[in-house]
Amino acid sequence: MDNNVTILSMNVRGLFSNSKKRADVFDWAKSKNTSIVCFQETHSNKDIEKNWEDEWGSTCFFSHKDSKSAGVSVMFKKGLDFVVHNSVTDDNGRYIVLDVTIFSQRLSFACLYGYNTDEPAFFDIIMLNILSFKNTSVLLCGDWNVVLDKFMDTYNIKHNRNPNSRKKIDEIIDVFELLDPWRTCYPEDRKYTWRQSSPIKQSRLDYFLISEDLFSLMKNTKIIPGYRTDHSAIIFTFSACLEKRGKSYWKFNSQLLRDAEYIQKVKLCIKDTILEYYLSGDMEDLLSVDLSCNDQTFFEILKMKIRSLSINYSINKSKEEKNFTLKLENNILQLETIMNHSPNEEVQKSLLDKKLELENCRQKKVEDNALKEKTVNSYNIEMILTDT
């Protein structure tokens, strides 16, 4: 059975007023052997939904603004094995977020159309919606109206447009551990998805961001000429195989609560997040300040940021420990080599000291692992007792 899933995304620059263009673009998208088609800037309203779905011939999801601006759609191939568990659509025609299973692969899927202006709050909303579905697999696509790298992804663009939005996209990438599959595969290539003439300007505004597990299932990713638009189309194909599993859920390492450096970083993260959404109040009493969002939204954002901080800190800490252990082992090897050829008491003492240092380092790791296992087992027992 062919479990390959091909997703095409393209800014179509309006499909409402021209039924012939719409039929032509629908047919063109189907000719690319697509499983899911994501369109941006459809210029649609609620009245078109049944008609457009009939024209497409299968299930569609729509987000509308009006017949002259914005609008996005997600359109599924007839016969595709999928189930949509939940969906969120924007009232301003800017995004659709789906909790969907395609074949055996469950993921959070978003089609979005970013603002031309610097609107970081828009990407906060995207982040919260993705977070609410709690899937480990994530795929985002669309016309972001923000480049990821001004040097590599623009031509003859002088100004650094939408810098705050870019920071938010970087945060999404960090929180969900996402990759830009095209840039990952072609790190040195320059290819653009939007172009303007007189004067010539070009940018790569359209791209996918995907979780690492989906990248491991990737068959191909490419930028192809668009059709009846000033944007290119982007394509991502992956295999939704039963045999391949996504990454596991992240579990907090309680040993971090004994780490003074980590605790300071969390405190700073809390303070910085409050400052980001601060409206008024005494910053010396953080519990009493007024924020630009409600308490639940702020709490979800803060949890997300602490999660990201914790994951990155744990990864870096683990690398440091591995490098330190490797350095000790190399030192021991060098000292043993010297002892083999030119033994003396000074070298022998250094060798014993390094071996003891390595043993102490390893013992600490063993103790940490034992405590972590005890914590996990206690949690599992508690869950069993709760279920009974």
Lowest mean pLDDT among 59-63, 200-204, 273-277: 273-277
Gap between the Cα atoms of 244 and 56, Å rounded: 32
What is the tally of structural domains in the chain?
2
pLDDT in tens, 297-338: 888 888 888 888 888 888 888 888 888 888 888 888 898 888
Asked whether residue 266 falls in the same domain as residue 179, the answer is no
- Residue 306's domain comprises 254-387
Three-class DSSP category at 21: helix
pLDDT at residue 109, rounded to an integer: 98
pLDDT at residue 367, rounded to an integer: 63
Asked whether residue 201 falls in the same domain as residue 279, the answer is no
Is 81 annotated to bind a ligand? Reply is no
230's CB contacts (< 8 A; 6+ apart) are 11, 13, 194, 195, 196
pLDDT in tens, 147-174: 999 999 999 998 889 999 999 999 999 8
| Residue 245 in domain | no
Q: Above 70 in pLDDT, residue 383?
A: no
Is 41 annotated to bind a ligand? Reply is yes
Gap between the Cα atoms of 180 and 167, Å rounded: 15
Asked whether residue 174 falls in the same domain as residue 272, the answer is no
82's CB contacts (< 8 A; 6+ apart) are 76, 100, 101, 102, 103
Q: Above 60 in pLDDT, residue 246?
A: no
Asked whether residue 302 falls in the same domain as residue 160, the answer is no
Largest interatomic CA distance in the chain: 90
Which residues, listed in sequence order, are joined to residue 88 by a DSSP beta bridge?
Answer: 97
Asked whether residue 111 falls in the same domain as residue 169, the answer is yes
Q: Above 50 in pLDDT, residue 242?
A: no
Asked whether residue 145 falls in the same domain as residue 101, the answer is yes
DSSP code of residue 249? P
Gap between the Cα atoms of 261 and 280, Å rounded: 30
Number of H-type helices and E-type strands within the chain: 10, 17
Amino acid identity, residue 179? Answer: L
More confident residue, 109 or 347: 109
| Residue 248 in domain | no
Residue 268 binned pLDDT confidence (cut-offs 50, 70, 90): very high
| Residue 95 in domain | yes
DSSP code of residue 34? -
pLDDT at residue 251, rounded to an integer: 67
pLDDT at residue 77, rounded to an integer: 97
Asked whether residue 232 falls in the same domain as residue 102, the answer is yes
- Per the prediction, the chain carries an average pLDDT of 88
pLDDT in tens, 337-354: 887 788 888 888 898 898
pLDDT at residue 371, rounded to an integer: 59
**Residue after which a domain boundary falls, among 209, 239, 269:** 239
Is 11 annotated to bind a ligand? Reply is yes
| Residue 247 in domain | no
CB 73 within 8 A of CB 67: no
**Residue after which a domain boundary falls, among 186, 214, 239:** 239
Is 85 annotated to bind a ligand? Reply is no
pLDDT at residue 369, rounded to an integer: 62
Nearest-CA neighbor of 109 among 74, 144, 78?
74
pLDDT at residue 244, rounded to an integer: 45
Nearest-CA neighbor of 43 among 89, 11, 76?
11
Pairing of strands 206-211, 178-179: antiparallel
Asked whether residue 218 falls in the same domain as residue 339, the answer is no
**Phi, psi torsion values for 33, nearest 5 degrees:** 55, 45
Asked whether residue 172 falls in the same domain as residue 39, the answer is yes
pLDDT in tens, 183-231: 999 999 999 999 988 888 999 999 999 998 999 899 999 999 899 899 9
Gap between the Cα atoms of 142 and 124, Å rounded: 16
Lowest mean pLDDT among 6-15, 182-191, 227-236, 280-289: 280-289
| Residue 249 in domain | no
Q: Above 50 in pLDDT, residue 388?
A: no
Residue 67 binned pLDDT confidence (cut-offs 50, 70, 90): very high
Mean pLDDT of 16-27: 92
**Residue after which a domain boundary falls, among 208, 239, 270:** 239
DSSP labels for 318-385? HHHHHHHHHHHHHHHHHHHHHHHHS--HHHHHHHHHHHHHHHHHHHHHHHHHHHHHHHHHHHHHHHHH
Is 189 annotated to bind a ligand? Reply is no
| Residue 299 in domain | yes
Asked whether residue 221 falls in the same domain as residue 287, the answer is no
Is 330 annotated to bind a ligand? Reply is no
Structure token digits, residue 386: 């709760």
> pTM for the whole thing?
0.71
- CATH number of the domain encompassing residue 202: 3.60.10.10
pLDDT at residue 379, rounded to an integer: 45
Amino acid identity, residue 77? Answer: K
pLDDT in tens, 369-378: 665 555 545 5
pLDDT at residue 243, rounded to an integer: 46
Burial 234-256 (b: 16+ CB within 10 A, else e): bbbbbbbeeeeebeeeeeebebb
| Residue 244 in domain | no
pLDDT at residue 366, rounded to an integer: 61
pLDDT at residue 381, rounded to an integer: 44
Asked whether residue 234 falls in the same domain as residue 303, the answer is no
Asked whether residue 192 falls in the same domain as residue 307, the answer is no
| Residue 246 in domain | no
Q: Above 90 in pLDDT, residue 54?
A: yes
pLDDT at residue 50, rounded to an integer: 96
pLDDT at residue 1, rounded to an integer: 54
